[in-house]
Structure 1
Amino acid sequence: MSNSDNKELVDRYLVAYNAFDIDGMLAVLSPDVRFENYASGQLTDATNGIDAFRELAEKSKSLFSEREQRITKLTLSQNSAIADIAYRGQLAADIPGGPSAGTVLDLQGQSEFSFKDGKISKIVDRS
């Protein structure tokens, strides 16, 4: 796959993510997709396979009334991409022991995408 094909996969994933379109997100993922989320260097979530990813995406969807990931820098290589991300989301529900509903989160992070067979095979989010 070319870098432009990989960029298109990332763009399609983020458009679907921002629109809460889980089926659209899954359409660009490989069946054995691996997902990892790190906050302050600690692993907070991980999934193996598209069904587990769907379950986490459905759960995450209910936490936010709005959300947007915007790429501020994208570095592409043959089988991977690293995206610097500006993230903004408004909580729809209280987080136990954390912020309350209505709180706006503004974060900077990085997402690493790996590609295999024309699909995204791994996503690692860090914030």
Structure 2
Amino acid sequence: MTRDVLDRYYAAFNAKDIDAMLAELDEDVAHHVNEGEIRQGKEAFRAFCGHMSDCYDEHLTEIELFASDDGNRAAAEFMVNGTYLKTDPGLPEARNQAYRLPGGAFFTLRDGKIIRVTTYYNLADWLKQVS
């Protein structure tokens, strides 16, 4: 079941279907963003996804999923293939720069829903690629 949830979550990410991603989340999901604040709840997650869609066009490949035996914790490793579309405040100017970098995520699940997402990528690597 855990892998099915994550399969749907990442298929929705690659399809740019925010509503389908949200369907896999608990109402009170905690979203721990790389280099950012923890966002609490589905609406904060939706707002984050909207911002990301404005600034970045990303597609994940080489997705590998891992799950604990009890299904309550999971992880994913992947390659982020992206284009920097619009300048994100505090970051370098966007000029449609392409980037490719490894990323990962850690999850906690309860009752078939994601209650925590922690994402990671190497910001220094990304900055080097888009600068």
Normalising TM by the smaller chain, what interval? 0.7 to 0.9
Q: Unpaired runs of 5+ in structure 1?
A: none
What is the TM-score of this pair, normalised by structure 2? 0.82
Alignment of 1:20-99 (within 5 A): 20-38=16-34, 43-64=35-56, 66-77=57-68, 78=70, 79-96=72-89, 97-99=91-93
What is the TM-score of this pair, normalised by structure 1? 0.84
2:85 and 2:38 map into 1 onto residues whose CA distance is: 22
Bigger strand share: 1
Identity %: 28
3-state SS in 2 of match to 1:95: coil
RMSD between superposed Cα atoms in Å: 1.5
Name the count of aligned residue pairs.
118
Bigger helix share: 2
- Relative contact order (C-alpha < 8 Å, sep 6+): which is higher? 1
Q: Unpaired runs of 5+ in structure 2?
A: 122-131
